Structure 1
Amino acid sequence: MRFHKDILRIDCQAEADRICAFIQQQVAAMKRGGAVIGLSGGVDSALCAELCLRALGKGRVLGLVLPERESNPITTEYVTMHTQKIGLNTVTIDITSALEWFGTYEKRDQVIRAIFPEYNNQCKSKIVLPPDLLSRDAFNFFTLRIEDSDGNVKSTRLNSRSLRCIVAATNTKQRTRMMHLYYYAEMNNYLVCGTTNRTELVQGFFVKYGDGGVDVDPIAHLYKMQVYQLAGHLGVIDEIMERAPSPDTFSFEVTDEEMYFRIPYSTLDLLLYAWENGISVAEVCEAMGLTEEQVKRAFRDFASKYSATRYLRALPLKLEL
């Protein structure tokens, strides 16, 4: 099939039916009574909630809302709006105290204060990659960005040790959520439904044994723009559909594009599909109106991230008898 801009267009009803059948099959195969799903206020979890309800029925799906003190308040508001619309039962648990007990915030803030001594509880922080990958070459070096209570912003490039410490601390948020999901799953004899899409899976934008710690991943074959197609077809609320995708794990708001992908999803997904399927650079350039250097730059970035995050997708290694 020739590569073109509509190559990721899907038959939404047929795809919804296929995914619902898959969910039903997996629940039966694992001898579980239903599914529990973490709700983030984003389009991926909203879509998965819709699909689980259609596959299993309202009495067999439970949604968990797991905010913490740095979560965007709009998250819980949007989750409430959507779950009330679709009739999904939910449990809300604030995980701030668990994170404080572990030292999530303090471990991260110690690293930040070593760089910016003025950083305090009134400041916000995030990490970002260089923007606009298609416009210029730039290595994937992360920058720490802080904002004080007066709106003043400071930035500095992170060394590898500081980056690892910040990421390790931040990832405990997703891993704490995973513990709650499995508690409710085991208590109810449910499986845990994941919400990772293909764009995130291939490029390693998830936390191992965090949001990647699940029993079934019903949308892991769909690129992000396909998620939007299906979510729109199934009636996910406009507020979620129009919200900028974000990991919602930093106090200083950051989008997926800022933090990791460096390309808007509408362009990213087409390029990623082309890279995965061995489409020639020339064919991609013709279809997308990009230069050869832009396409090659994106392909290099995809290959680098795929290689660097290979361990995230790997099962535990073991010796054979």
Structure 2
Amino acid sequence: MKFSKDIILSNPEYETDLVRDFLSAQVKGVPKRDGIIVGVSGGVDSAVVASLAVRAVGKENVLGLILPEKESNPISAEYAVKVINSLGIEHIKVELTESVASFDAYKNRDKVIKEIFPDYTPEYKFNIYLPQNLLDVDRYNFYTLRVDDGKGNIREKRLTKKQLLAITAAANVKIRSRMIALYYWGEQENYLVAGTTNKTEFILGDYCKFGDGGTDVECISHLYKTNIYELAEYLEIPREIQERTPSPDTFSLPVSDTDFYFCLPFNILDPLLYAWQYNISAAETASALDLGEDQVKRAFRDFQSKHASTEHIRVLPASIKRDWTQFVNKKPF
């Protein structure tokens, strides 16, 4: 098939049936489970997974968890309730602030921010973001801290590696706390923990190891973000959730997934990602997407860098492999 911007478009009915059957089989597998638990974030990915779970095992066998902490966007829980009510599933709201604070995650992160901006207080809001000129300029992925004092004063400063690691480690405590809550409640009900990572996130590494990557099954990781929107329309996910800007929801000042990590809108990102993954030439990709060949090459380099630097989160922990049948007669000691 000739490459085009529409090559990744899917058949939502087919994908719905495929995921429904996959989830149903997983629940009936070994060990057999009694249902499915989903962390419902108020975003489109978790809304789609929750809807597909209902189709797989029935609404009476699906549990939704709402998992806020003190810096979550309030609209997230509001939209999560909309999804839950539209599906008719049971839900539990688990407040994670104390769990996150027990690691001193807020305290240690704020100490780092205060070293950068001495007048910073916990009442300020902040986020981090990458430069957004990916297609037009050769550049490195250096993160910038943005701080808002709530009085119209916004300041920014590029982060060092150590500062970035401190801030993202605190954010990952939030994400891993969500995973712990899902397993705590899921194990009590003998429910399968369903992940919500899509293919775009999976390939480029925009998820947290043992956080949103810590699940029993990943039922939409074969679908690009573009396909998730197609499914959301087909499954009649509430319109405001379909139109909501995707966000990690781990910083007190909202930031989009595009600004935080991807640096491209999904309607451009996904076809480019397909072309990179399936070795479509930069020239053919540029022609099909009405981009310059240099722009495509910049995107491909960015994809390669992000994929390589996050390979460790897609694989099992490294270990020493031994064939004991060969080792017995050739012991090195």
Q: Which TM-score applies when normalising by structure 1?
A: 0.98
Letter of the aligned partner of 2:67 in structure 1? L
Match of 1:232 in 2: 233
Match of 1:308 in 2: 309
Letter of the aligned partner of 2:17 in structure 1? D
2 CA distance for matches of 1:233 and 1:133?
Answer: 32
Letter of the aligned partner of 2:98 in structure 1? S
Counting only pairs closer than 5 Å after superposition, residues 275-286 of structure 1 correspond to structure 2 as 275-286=276-287
2 CA distance for matches of 1:319 and 1:14?
Answer: 41
Q: Which has the larger radius of gyration?
A: 2
Q: Which TM-score applies when normalising by structure 2?
A: 0.95
- Alignment of 1:9 with 2:41, yes or no, is no
2 CA distance for matches of 1:255 and 1:137?
Answer: 22
2 CA distance for matches of 1:26 and 1:86?
Answer: 21
2 CA distance for matches of 1:159 and 1:82?
Answer: 39
Counting only pairs closer than 5 Å after superposition, residues 116-155 of structure 1 correspond to structure 2 as 116-155=117-156
Letter of the aligned partner of 2:217 in structure 1? V
1 CA distance for matches of 2:319 and 2:307?
Answer: 22
Counting only pairs closer than 5 Å after superposition, residues 1-321 of structure 1 correspond to structure 2 as 1-30=1-30, 31-321=32-322
Match of 2:327 in 1: none
Q: Is the contact made by 2:195 and 2:216 (CA closer than 8 Å) also made in structure 1?
A: yes
DSSP-derived class of the 1:29 partner: coil
How far does residue 317 in structure 1 lie from its aligned partner after superposition?
A: 2.2
1 CA distance for matches of 2:87 and 2:149?
Answer: 40
Letter of the aligned partner of 1:5 in structure 2? K
CA RMSD of aligned residues (A): 0.9
DSSP-derived class of the 2:138 partner: coil
DSSP-derived class of the 2:218 partner: coil
Q: Figure out how many residues of one structure are paired with residues of the other and give that number.
A: 321
Stretch of structure 1 that moved more, 274-283 or 27-36: 27-36
Q: Is the contact made by 2:110 and 2:122 (CA closer than 8 Å) also made in structure 1?
A: no
Letter of the aligned partner of 1:17 in structure 2? D
2 CA distance for matches of 1:149 and 1:206?
Answer: 29
How far does residue 59 in structure 1 lie from its aligned partner after superposition?
A: 1.4
* Structure 2 portions without partners, runs of 5+: 323-333
How far does residue 132 in structure 1 lie from its aligned partner after superposition?
A: 2.7
Which deviations, in whole Å up to 9, do the C-alpha atoms of 1:173-228 show, x marking residues without a partner?
A: 01111111001111111110000000000000000000000000000000000110
How far does residue 138 in structure 1 lie from its aligned partner after superposition?
A: 1.7
Q: Is the contact made by 2:72 and 2:250 (CA closer than 8 Å) also made in structure 1?
A: yes
1 CA distance for matches of 2:154 and 2:87?
Answer: 40
How far does residue 101 in structure 1 lie from its aligned partner after superposition?
A: 2.0
How far does residue 93 in structure 1 lie from its aligned partner after superposition?
A: 1.1
1 CA distance for matches of 2:254 and 2:18?
Answer: 35
Stretch of structure 1 that moved more, 289-298 or 5-14: 5-14
DSSP-derived class of the 2:39 partner: strand
2 CA distance for matches of 1:212 and 1:89?
Answer: 24
Letter of the aligned partner of 1:6 in structure 2? D
How far does residue 320 in structure 1 lie from its aligned partner after superposition?
A: 2.9
